[in-house]
Chain A
């Protein structure tokens, strides 16, 4: 699976005496590289150029001309900084909760369930099961389950956990809940991949050396599973910070929970304010590269691919 991609940084590929004929390599690479140049690199350049455009004088809505209007960036930051803050805040919270839920799950499947391969396979299938049903329908299902007249909300009100006029949907809680739910498999699978390779003799050695199970976990298991945690947090944090489904008003969010993804979507597709949408996309990408770069450097797994 692709999730193994992020988790497999510790795997030592078999060295296969690579042949020297590098021209063959370039022939094999050429179509793919051309595709990436056409549909990945040029769109980035387009995005940057668009972010600097200015409206055409006396033009219709949605008409822009090439300019070097760097103020676009200042404008979107001034106008939308709360959305950026919310995007990173919600994504961070969702990454944390997904880790809390995923680590024990991945540990159970990868280490405890080793004795029962059938159980292990079944549980792994259940972890990837959500991928086989539409992302949007799953999110809508949570919206229905958390809507005002459901037993869940009524119960919370009866227990006075939720005030009588309170809601679950449309709150920061439901958005973070939805993000957490949607990204649990992305967190579980890479952690499972590293834990599945964990040599349990290390754990035995720990207990032979009179370490308590807790000490063994902190000193042995956890450090050995860092590559999985790093890839899992990246696979969760990056898409979560750009997501706009969960925070959208027709799903789990409301106008007060809009993330930067929602305003990029609205500016691009409804307000036809392409420069603003492009400027926000560039900022989002820049911040993510910065955060990911710092995080990856700190956690010390540099070769992710």
Chain B
């Protein structure tokens, strides 16, 4: 195979450099989670495990983290439930206004977050709804919804319709075919959508900033602390979340490739 290459080594070196560039701030966050600084974590003072051992010594960091988890879980449940139903409707049924519904789902993804945030804030303001946990969750579920629909839709489109036909040929009722065949096959897509939705919600700052009221999520905490220097405990939490997510992704990929190998052996 001859492919376009800027010299034999230039492309791989460039790719590795780009990846290193992407990882620099992550390494920085990880290293500074071991910094022996007391309050602001800007200059390197010395190495310590204390921040990792006493993460919650400053309760506000852990409270903010807990709030982000709560918001993420509730928003994900709402977005995943509504989005999965919409994805099923869009892929399995012909109805008029299908393209309008698709456009309506595309628009939140094409709207800058600040416009979504300001719009929701204007809405809550004019409706006299006080900003707080409820408004954050409502906002997060909104921007996650489109991503859930897209992710689940992709999974449905990749399903082999023959599997369902087989179910019907074996006299399965619609409900049986759905719950015993379609749903289990869709589940990986739904789980992927839920994970994506949680990740989007957990890291959202812009929309939250407009709708949080007095509630502090983890990104809001970092933003507020940014001017005076984020305490090392925030770096600990971020690093721990990062390590957990990476482990999950690697486990997912390993099991997936193991399953693929097993299938290849069977076939």
Contact = CB atoms under 8 A, between A and B. Distances in A.
Given A132-B199, A203-B2, A138 B242 contact: no
Interface string B164-206: 0000000000000000000000000000100010010001011
B77 interface: no
Contacts of A175: none
A200 B5 CA distance: 13
A16 B185 CA distance: 15
Contacts of B72: none
B138 interface: yes
Output the residue of A17, A25, A123, A268 with the most chain B CB within 10 A: A25
B47 interface: no
Contacts of A21: 93
A155 interface: no
A205 to B, nearest CB: 11
A137 B120 contact: no
Given A17-B161, A134-B222, A137-B25, A29 B89 contact: yes
B21 interface: yes
B53 interface: no
B159 A43 contact: no
Given A107-B11, A144-B42, A241-B112, A35 B141 contact: yes
B41 to A, nearest CB: 9
Given A29-B89, A40-B108, A133-B239, A274 B15 contact: no
Contacts of A145: 24-25, 28
A44 interface: yes
Interface in A190-206: 200, 203-204
Given A1-B196, A123-B19, A133-B238, A24 B93 contact: yes
A39 B110 contact: no
A33 interface: yes
Given A13-B157, A134-B203, A105 B18 contact: yes
B69 to A, nearest CB: 14
A238 B112 contact: yes
Given A125-B250, A284-B115, A32 B86 contact: yes
Interface residues of A, number: 105
Interface residues of B, number: 105
Nearest to A101: B18
B29 interface: yes
Contact of B123 (A43, A207, A221, A305): A43
B93 A281 contact: no
Interface string B141-156: 1100101011100101
A24 B89 CA distance: 8
A19 interface: yes
Given A104-B18, A132-B242, A251-B226, A213 B5 contact: yes
A171 interface: no
B51 interface: no
B26 interface: yes
Nearest to A280: B118
A255 interface: no
A213 B3 CA distance: 7
Given A14-B161, A28-B85, A50-B126, A132 B246 contact: yes
A305 B103 contact: yes
B116 to A, nearest CB: 7
B263 interface: no
Given A13-B91, A217-B4, A277-B118, A126 B22 contact: yes
B45 interface: no
Output the residue of A5, A234, A243 with the most chain B CB within 10 A: A5
Contact of A132 (B151, B158, B245): B245
Interface in B55-101: 78, 81-83, 85-86, 88-96, 101
Interface in A1-53: 1-2, 4-5, 8, 11, 13-14, 16-22, 24-26, 28-29, 31-33, 35-36, 39-40, 42-44, 46-47, 49-50
A274 B125 contact: yes
Nearest to B2: A207
B266 interface: no
Contacts of A203: 1-4
Contacts of A269: 209-210
18 contacts: A22-B94, A31-B85, A36-B145, A43-B122, A47-B118, A101-B21, A104-B18, A111-B3, A125-B246, A125-B249, A125-B253, A136-B219, A136-B223, A136-B226, A207-B2, A242-B113, A242-B115, A305-B150
Q: Which 10 A-B pairs have the closest CB atoms?
A: A242-B112, A43-B119, A25-B93, A22-B95, A141-B25, A13-B157, A108-B15, A132-B245, A5-B150, A217-B4
Given A28-B88, A131-B199, A141-B26, 11 more contacts: A5-B150, A13-B91, A36-B108, A47-B115, A50-B122, A111-B3, A213-B5, A243-B114, A261-B112, A265-B210, A288-B112
